[in-house]
Amino acid sequence: MEGGPFLVLMQFAEFLIIGGAALGALLISTPPKTMKQIVARVTGTFKGAGVGSQTYLDLLKLMFEIFQISRKEGLIALEGHIERPAESTIFANYPKFLKKPQLLNFICDTFRLVILGGVPSYDMEAIMDVDIETKHHEGSRPGMILQKIGDSMPGLGIVAAVLGVIITMQSIGGAAEQVGHKVASALVGTFLGIFLSYGFIQPLATNIDIYNDDESKVYEAVKAGMVAFAKGFNPIVCAEFARRTIPEDHRPTFQDMENYVKGKK
């Protein structure tokens, strides 16, 4: 649109210098486990993965069904479902949670405390808070590392530009057109570093951080429902405690929640 030749931006040496240095910095600074998380989160971002309203509704219904079984058949009836969730007739209805081992373990481990008994509700709430904080801290690493890589991109762009200027200085006595072409190639490095940082990598890191916060809200909903259950409230009240922790843009009304968890249309 500006009238410039687009191909002048296709300086593959600049891409190689900036991209290679950024990738090298990422590999040096990131443990293998966190690298897998980064790949999974970046892939999920481009696929549009996230926590939606249906996820919360299914979570409320799952907890309600477990609470109902406990109320009607006793805590012992829960043991088979909690110890072997992959074989559970309840969890089988919610395959999306079976694919989330961390969330599944969080739910099952907390139910184990209830089944074992002797743990006051406030102590159970405290240990769940510690677990949630740990998971949130670990989940924040991918975004934090990408943020640091994004911060370094303008500097790497300058490195590429300086190398281009060094090459230009060797041709300073040549034709003006040739010198101008080399200067333009060098400046592309600075352009790419700044553009990739503020236009791509840092927004991607922010998206990953928001996703991590949304995931933590799911754990908070589980905690609220489980604490209410440990205090002896009836299943629908426990579900209501969980519903109140759901963010406003995904929170169903009480009537919608009641109809859904009870299987009403």
198 pLDDT exceeds 90? yes
In this predicted model, what pLDDT tens digit does every residue of 113-168 receive, in sequence order? 888 877 888 888 899 999 999 999 988 999 999 999 999 999 998 988 888 888 88
pLDDT at position 194: 92
Q: Quick one: average pLDDT of 42-58?
A: 82
Angstrom distances, CA of residue 41 to CA of 34, 88, 198, 208, 260: 10, 29, 19, 7, 30
What span, in angstroms and rounded, lies between the C-alpha atoms of 204 and 212? 13
pTM metric for this prediction? 0.80
49 pLDDT exceeds 80? no
In this predicted model, what pLDDT tens digit does every residue of 25-42 receive, in sequence order? 999 989 999 999 899 888
What span, in angstroms and rounded, lies between the C-alpha atoms of 167 and 182? 8
CB 159 within 8 A of CB 13: no
* Token pair for 84: 């072997």
